[in-house]
Every structure is written in C-alpha cells, then in structure tokens.
Chains A and B, each alone.
Chain A
C-alpha cells in the first residue's frame, strides 16, 4: 500500500482547467462548512451567557463568558458522570485491546479446527441488535448483582467492541510476513512469546487504532448505559446529559458546555491519530 500512496494521483491530475479547479475547491469548501458548522455553533453557543441560548439571533458572539462551564461543574453531576465514563471507557480499552489482539493473532496465524466458525461468529455478532440482547443481559446482570456497577457495563461493551477489533487486528497481522514469526520460533521463543515480544511491537499502529476504537465505542454508548446504570451516581455522560434537555425542561447552556467538554478532547485525539486510523481500516478493508 505505502508504495502506491506515494505515486502521483491518478486521473487528469495536473492538467486541470481553472474552472474545474474552482468547482473542485468550491465543492470541498461547501462540504467542509457542512461538516464543521454544527461543531462551531456548539462551541459558540456554549460561550454565550447563562440564557444566551434562548436567543435565536444569528450573532456569533454575545458577551462571551464561561458561565455555562462553571455551572456544569458546580451545579450538576457532570464531574461524577465524567469520572464514570472515563473509568468505563478506559478499562474497556485496556481489556478490549488485549482480547482483540490475541484473538486476531490466533485467527491470522494458526489454522485450527473452529477457525472459520469463529470468524463467522465475529461477523455475525456485529449484526446483533441491542434489542434482543438487552433484556436477557439485563436479567443476567441483575442476577450477578452487576446492575449499576461499572464492571458490568465494561463487560457489556466488550461484546460490542471486541468482535470488530479482532477482525481489524487479524487483517493487520495478515500483513506482517510469517517469516518474522518463524524467525522468532527458531530463536527458541514459544508461539506466545513470539506474539508478545516480536509481533505485538510491530503491530503498534494497529493497536493504537484498536485502542481508539474501543475507547470511542464505550465513550459514545447510550443504550446499555441507559438501562444498566439507573442510579444517579453511576450514570455515564451519555445518560447524564439527557437530564439537561428533558421533555418539559431544558437548559441548552448546560448541554452545550458539557458537549464541548466531551467532544473537543475526543476530537483532538482523533485528529492526531486519524492517519493511523485510516491506514488501519483500509489495510483491513482492502484485504478482507
């Protein structure tokens, strides 16, 4: 792939008329505006004073202030939700990366009875709607005393994140030459040792992508969290934020400020890792 990337881009390339150039840039600028606008408007709204969101005037700034932000921290449960979300997403990431990489490696390197079946299983679990699992899972969690417990939520998130991540890791391992494993074995490492000490370090970009995917999955999940975490102090951000804009009462000032606090750090990290993300995804997609 990397050799293809550096080549000149296909198509008419350099010989583009001025009109075509203008059209190309105009289209891309329009698309970028649509893509960017909601986020910019969110940030601008969050900076308005307390009831600033009540005005529908198209003004960019109106006495910008950080009132909404200080209210989020002093008047709401936001810090608790944030902590819950960080813990849940963080642990999901650690466990998810570990499970996805061992599974992906086994599927990529060993041909063992059941391999095909497992690959199918991973694909099929992608299709499971929350609806069918959520009730029995709720009962199971209740029976195990895991309702309103963050570990329970983490285990539920595994079922969403791990199948896709294992699939992604497998594609990446497929692109690492087998000779490297064989060299490790000849040097006297066990298959597990080879995996741990030789292959995993080589798979770092893909591990980063997997970690990121697990984190985002857990960070953005709403359905399981809504059902499993009913207790006030166990809510995650996705559940908690619904409080700010209910049926009868809403405070978009609080909502926009907390949304910025949630989205902006995530977006920043995302934009830093996106190059790897693109490579990781496409190496999987073009080969599957």
Chain B
C-alpha cells in the first residue's frame, strides 16, 4: 500500500513564479487523480451516500406508505410522518422475530461460507494436481458460476418441486417417499443452503486455485526432503501460504452470503411462513409488500449494515493480530 512518488507529482512541479499556497499546490499536483476518481465519487455520493443518510433519517421516523408525501394526478399530498427517535430500533430489537431471523441468518451464512470454502479448497487441491482431463473438469466445475443467479434459483425450484421435480422422482425410483422440500421449514432451509452452495463454490474454487498456483513449488520439495507427511505439508505450507487469498475471499463471501437476495427470494419467497427469510429479504418484504413500512425497513437495513461493519472490523483486527497486512 505504500506508494512511490506519484506520476501526478510530475505535473505539479512545473508551475513557476511565487510559491503557491498548500491548497493550490495540492490542486495542481493532484487534479488528475481527483478528476479520475470524481465520477465514481459522484455516483457513490448521490446513489449511496444520500440514500444512506436518508435511510438513517427514515429509520428514526414513522414513515409508511400511508403518510409519505405523494403526488396523485395534480394533487400533492404533503408528507405527514413524524420523528420518533429510536422507537423503530427498540421495537425491532425487543421482538423475538428479529432474533429468530438473526439466528437463521447467522446459521445460513456460517454454513454456506463454511461449505463454500471447504468444498472450494478441496476441489481446488484436486484440480491443482497434474492429471488427465484437468481442463475439462475445471470447465465443468466452473459452470454454475456462469448461470445467472435468478436462473439458477428457478432451475432449483423446479428440481425441488414436490410433484414434478426430478429430486423426488429419483427418490421414488429408489423406493423412497417424496419429500415436500419447500413446504417444511427444515427441508426448505436445507434446500436453500444447498442451492447457494451450488452457486457459490466455483468462485471460491477458482480464487483458491489461483492462490495454490502462486505457492512456490520448492517449498514442497524442501518439505518432502525433510520427510514431511502430506498432512503436515498441507498444515504448514498450504494453509499459511493461502492465508492472504483466504482472508479476502472469506470476508467477501461472508458479506455476499449475508446479503444474498435472489436465492431465497426466488426459491421460497421466505416461506414456509417466514422460516427461510434472512434479514435482507425480510427488510425488503417490510418495504414492498402490504402497507409499505418504509421506516421499519430502513431500521432493519441500518441494523444489518451495523452488524456487517462490526463483523468486518473484528475480522480485520483478528487478521492484524496474526500479522497479516490487509
């Protein structure tokens, strides 16, 4: 992250005459850089910064579909919602619903990311070996990544269909009974986890395969000369050398899974009841079904964001303690 003197500095020094003030100097020296970053900052500022502030504000009010300002035809109905302070947060944090959803979201995230990482690493290590058909295997195993998320969700919903789905057809062919996969809370949860694992393993596998390929082979040769067993080589060379890649992909995977929308929204719609609903899909449902509860949804959103920020900083601190530069 430490950078050498920048290329932009070259430009700034050409100004002659009186020594310009620090601001002028910074402007002259850095304007290329700022000009190149500006569009992104504007996009982020307008479309993330402003909505974020407004979202935080909404979460402190009692805004619903019924009392926000609207324009119906030529009539402008002014907003009539009020500032209610932390009421929404109190309501949410004292409801058992929130804690149920949080528990399930954590289970969902941990099991998905754990399986992504475990299976991804296992497959990456197999693919890393020299063998026949290696590129064919790799191609086939990457395939799920190539399927758009919503298409994957629809495919699996069909496979899990209790009357016409092929999974039940296979169970019947094997002499077992059909299962109402998406009708029962437990099987529905297993089903969405299975789908998300299918969707997410290829990314982990590819990233870890890249990490494996960057480990110098002489390390293994030296270890083999010293008589290290395969397990010892895995523990003491592979895992530590993979740590930078692992740290990044596990954090990214955790954030993505925590916020995974399409898989749950399109496969079970959160059902049966709201048993497979994770925090994000629940917040979405608050905002866009029934009487739209904008303030409640915003408060859920703020809580989700706060959870993720806490998670990321704890994670970062833990890595730093182990001496990782990240």
Contacts and interface: CB of A to CB of B under 8 A. Distances in A.
Nearest to A2: B213
Most chain A beta-carbon contacts within 10 A, residue among B37, B133, B172 = B37
Contacts of B26: 112-113
A197 to B, nearest CB: 14
Nearest to A113: B26
Interface string B1-30: 101111110110000000000000010011
A242 interface: yes
B56 to A, nearest CB: 8
Interface string B155-178: 111110101111011101100000
Interface string B84-98: 000000000000000
A239 to B, nearest CB: 9
Given A32-B140, A266-B148, A271-B142, A132 B301 contact: yes
Contacts, number: 342
B47 to A, nearest CB: 5
Interface string B112-142: 0000000000010011111101000101111
B308 A127 contact: yes
Contact of A131 (B34, B54, B245, B287): B287
A42 B169 contact: no
Interface residues of A, number: 114
A166 B38 CA distance: 13
Given A34-B198, A178-B7, A271-B142, A129 B283 contact: yes
Interface string B241-263: 00011001100100100110110
Interface residues of B, number: 118
Nearest to A58: B169
A31 B158 contact: no
A255 B43 contact: no
A222 B260 CA distance: 11
B215 interface: yes
14 contacts: A42-B155, A54-B164, A109-B6, A131-B301, A158-B47, A185-B7, A191-B32, A219-B148, A256-B158, A270-B146, A277-B206, A282-B207, A282-B210, A283-B210
Interface of A: 1, 4-5, 7-14, 16, 21, 24-25, 27-28, 31-32, 34-36, 38-39, 41-42, 45, 53-58, 99-100, 102-103, 105-107, 109-116, 118, 121, 124-137, 139-140, 155-156, 158-159, 162-163, 166, 178, 181-182, 185, 190-192, 194-195, 216, 219-220, 222-223, 226-227, 237-238, 241-242, 245, 252, 255-256, 259, 262-263, 266-267, 270-271, 274, 277-279, 281-283, 285-286, 288
